[in-house]
Structure 1
Amino acid sequence: MRYISTRGRAPARDFADVLLAGLAEDGGLFMPETWPHFSPSEWRAMRGLPYHALAARIMQPFIGAAIPFAVLETICRDAYAGFNHPTIVPLVQLETNLFAQELFHGPTLAFKDLAMQVLSRLFDHVLTQRDTRVTIVGATSGDTGSAAIEACAGRDRVDIMILHPHGRTSLVQRRQMTTVPAANVGNIAVEGNFDDCQDLVKAMFADTGFRQQVRLSAVNSINWARIAAQIPYYAAAALALGAPDREVAFSVPTGNFGNVFAAWAACRMGLPVPRLTIGSNRNDILTRFLQSNDMSILPVEPSLSPSMDIQVSSNFERILFELLDRDPEATHQTMLGFRATGRMRIADAVWHRARARFHGFRLDDAGTEAEIRRLHAAGGYLADPHSAIGIAAARASPIGGGVPTVAMATAHPAKFPDAMERAIGHRPALPPRMADLFQREERFTVMPNDLGAVEASVRALVGRNAPRG
């Protein structure tokens, strides 16, 4: 399998090179040169596989010869060994033809664990083979950072620095990142919003000298390996509900577009998925685009669902590339115009192609609280604010015809205790392994939105951990 940039100005690479590179040199995102496709009989043969085996089978075509399949299957088995549910990604039926798929049974209680636990082991394998090390820099709106740190802490060949928006994550999310004492971990609280953090990361990748000096890599969903490792749980849900002999729709609370793009990729690989519903909070750029072809950047507003407080969804570039018939120059010019003007100009024909598969839905904080209360009152189900938006989005647009919809439950409710208490009157308890989270010492640095200052901090982390002798 070879990978190309959405902007067409970077050389093609294999999976191992894409894993380590993260972002293409031309500022684009890597995409598979061709899409793998499973036949209906091949999908049926995957029914009943343990989750780790299914994950390896789904990811293998994207990895190709870069990693032997037996090694990949071992990586996946080890990655999910610490999850606290036997099926890893259980389905919970909420109503007729409405299910929640719980993706929060990993070590940091969020869906990002499903990819990060695999990614860290993929890094270990490739870096050991090449006898080198990398520096991972990531931006987080809340969950990516803690999942990446948990997966990478203490690993010999990786330093990791995570940028989060100061004061704009939940307290649990922040402390999950900042209380990990490993020497290879650093945390920066940027005075700004998530989009500012994301822009800093992209600027570091664009700084060729810095990128080469620290051997920069990424674990955000700009890294294709993150997307590849998220496709399997969509396959697991669809197969459990009768695919490929039955259609299955998905509803995804969405900020950076990576999670819902993984669902689209599953469809591209042959699963029958007639609709993908995107759930937005008040930062609703994706819903505005789908409803009225308005992809314009507005100020980021804090909400009860902070992981979705995003206006520039990096992974939208991947679906744009597909909607533009994989034309890299058209993608490049569209993205340049978007960043220059704050508005993405999409031809009506392309917009209608997006609407043929994607549906947008918006829910403000009051509606999110109401949905959390409704779910709790109806059946005792506890949904965090992000998951509640995904479930509400599915309920608001039933597809009909007996087609089930799976709403992605992306985070444990205990990660957002203030929001849950406001909605249902009590704070869900953290799992026992996190019971002392608020007694642990924090380590992070508040910094201005300044590229030079952030790069200096990354250099200092790398310098402290550089091999001696």
Structure 2
Amino acid sequence: MGLLFYSTNHKTKPVTLEEAVLTGLPADKGLFMPAHIPRVSATFLQEMSCSSFPELALELARLIFQPEIPERELRSIIETAFNFAVPLVQLDETTFILELFHGPTLAFKDFGARFMAGLMSYLVRKSDHMLTILVATSGDTGSAVANGFLDMPGIQVYILYPQGKITDMQEKQITTLGNNITALEIAGDFDDCQRLTKQAFLDNRLRQKLRLTSANSINISRLIPQSFYYFWAYAQQKSSCDDLLFSVPCGNYGNLTAGLLARRMGLPVSRFIAAANSNAIGPHYLETGKYEPKKAIRTISNAMDVGDPSNFARILDLYDHDIDLIRQDLVGYSFTDEQTKSIMKDVYLRLKYILEPHGATGFLGLLEFQKQNPALQNKPAIVLETAHHAKFCAVVKQVLNIAIEVPIQLQNTIDRKKNSVVLANNYVELHEFLDSTT
């Protein structure tokens, strides 16, 4: 038998990979985690710089997804999912930007969504029952999932997004595809969308009619492949050492959790920086030891406007809820919109590099860490840039006062007609809608 997955609430029995992926959430309302986190070999760490990204990803995927997924199928999933560049851009002697926005929807969510789409397609290949994917998005998840699952046989996708709280470009990417993709426009914020989604997963009556699963980072199959690009970044920067820092823009904390998984798998990382906007749930916990969800505050980095990040449960579980252990690996800071705009302007003027608001928050996190830890200022550091700046065209143009070239992937969506289903912010209405689709 291969790797099993347990619930972070520890009230249900461990399950197989197939059950963890296709159910999305455990019955006890926790999140699935691998019962064993495999470690890479020293030889792998030494030689991985000679591999392409798909080759590196395949080596890592073998440790987790075999023997359940045959070699041929796993290779096909990875080569299809990761058919785009993952450049590491050097800004100065020690600072690097990992550009995670070269996939089809120009956001880091393409890594997890495309891998998950291929994996789910393989797992349901022999089933006569339609798989229904329900996913909440604060912006980029929706477009990545929509693109990854578009026209995939046997799979229907419903995407919940907060009305008026994502960019026009993000909304167009979600609402214009049609076919097996349905956009549900919720009169609320992202936390409301996430809450409604979780209620549906725990609705036994609904699940008797629909084969429901999730495509958020609450689904373990979307989270794991995000750990691959941490290894890739480490391999690409030439001064690999145990003092390497990663600064990660944080909203639902899936991206950060993937980095912590990579560290558990043996990636030599000194510290992770959790960089948040005004929704400072993570930094507040690291400062006080208290996890206190709050209503999300709207910011210019809207994909991080999360007041109750689901994946924080996984971080707590990884460290057995020991705040002192967490603080050894993780430090957190939060920043205002004005600070974000200021660093966007500063980096552009000094380094001629265009940061969008989420990557700018990550850059601010690194600067704050270096300010508080001057002995580590000359150590290599990687900032994750999670989306192309054209997806946030309005704020980037306003801050930098420059013309923005829109990539062809976005140009193709601008003139398409929006098509969404508007629902109130209550579960009864969502239940009735989903129930009517069967």
User: What TM bracket, shorter-length normalisation?
Assistant: over 0.9
What are the superposed Cα offsets for residues 317-347 of structure 1, whole Å, 9 maximum, x if unpaired? 111112227xxxxxxxxxxxxxxxxxxxxxx
Gaps of 5+ in 2: none
Whether the 8 Å contact between 2:88 and 2:96 is mirrored in structure 1 is yes
Whether the 8 Å contact between 2:165 and 2:302 is mirrored in structure 1 is yes
Corresponding residue number in structure 1 for 2:340? 368
Counterpart of 1:7 in structure 2: which amino acid?
N
Between the aligned partners of 2:72 and 2:126, the Cα distance in structure 1 is 16
Between the aligned partners of 1:58 and 1:136, the Cα distance in structure 2 is 26
Is residue 7 from structure 1 mapped to residue 4 from structure 2 by the alignment?
no
- The size of the alignment, in residue pairs, is 432
Counterpart of 2:193 in structure 1: which amino acid?
C
Gaps of 5+ in 1: 326-349, 464-469
Between the aligned partners of 2:436 and 2:51, the Cα distance in structure 1 is 45
Counterpart of 1:128 in structure 2: which amino acid?
R
Equivalent position to 2:164, from 164, 167, 176: 167
Secondary structure class of the residue paired with 1:28:
coil
Is residue 104 from structure 1 mapped to residue 101 from structure 2 by the alignment?
yes
Q: Relative to 1, partners in 2 of residues 1:305 and 1:245: Cα closer, same or farther, differing over 3 Å?
A: closer
Q: Relative to 1, partners in 2 of residues 1:267 and 1:125: Cα closer, same or farther, differing over 3 Å?
A: same
Is residue 214 from structure 1 mapped to residue 193 from structure 2 by the alignment?
no
User: What displacement does 1:459 show?
Assistant: 3.3
Corresponding residue number in structure 2 for 1:273? 269
User: What displacement does 1:460 show?
Assistant: 3.6
Whether the 8 Å contact between 1:104 and 1:412 is mirrored in structure 2 is yes
Is residue 352 from structure 1 mapped to residue 324 from structure 2 by the alignment?
yes
Corresponding residue number in structure 2 for 1:415? 391
Corresponding residue number in structure 1 for 2:423? 447
User: What displacement does 1:293 show?
Assistant: 2.5
Between the aligned partners of 2:239 and 2:57, the Cα distance in structure 1 is 16
TM-score norm. by structure 2 comes to 0.95
Equivalent position to 1:76, from 52, 75, 78: 78
Is residue 302 from structure 1 mapped to residue 307 from structure 2 by the alignment?
no
Between the aligned partners of 2:82 and 2:152, the Cα distance in structure 1 is 18
- What is the percent sequence identity of the aligned residues? 31
Between the aligned partners of 2:431 and 2:51, the Cα distance in structure 1 is 44
User: What displacement does 1:150 show?
Assistant: 0.6
Corresponding residue number in structure 1 for 2:120? 123
What are the superposed Cα offsets for residues 140-193 of structure 1, whole Å, 9 maximum, x if unpaired? 0001011000111111111000001111101111111011122x1111111111
Counterpart of 2:404 in structure 1: which amino acid?
P
Between the aligned partners of 2:123 and 2:240, the Cα distance in structure 1 is 34
Corresponding residue number in structure 2 for 1:318? 314
Between the aligned partners of 1:62 and 1:14, the Cα distance in structure 2 is 12
Moved more, 426-435 or 55-64: 426-435
Whether the 8 Å contact between 1:246 and 1:403 is mirrored in structure 2 is no
Is residue 192 from structure 1 mapped to residue 188 from structure 2 by the alignment?
yes
User: What displacement does 1:457 show?
Assistant: 2.1
Is residue 293 from structure 1 mapped to residue 289 from structure 2 by the alignment?
yes
Q: Relative to 1, partners in 2 of residues 1:391 and 1:221: Cα closer, same or farther, differing over 3 Å?
A: same
Counterpart of 1:221 in structure 2: which amino acid?
S
Between the aligned partners of 2:196 and 2:293, the Cα distance in structure 1 is 18
Corresponding residue number in structure 2 for 1:153? 150
Output aligned runs, 1:80-91, within 5 Å. Answer: 80-81=82-83, 83=84, 88-91=85-88
Whether the 8 Å contact between 1:141 and 1:169 is mirrored in structure 2 is yes
Corresponding residue number in structure 2 for 1:334? none
Q: Relative to 1, partners in 2 of residues 1:433 and 1:351: Cα closer, same or farther, differing over 3 Å?
A: closer
Corresponding residue number in structure 2 for 1:434? 410
TM-score norm. by structure 1 comes to 0.89
- What's the C-alpha RMSD, in Å, of the aligned pairs? 1.6
Counterpart of 1:116 in structure 2: which amino acid?
A
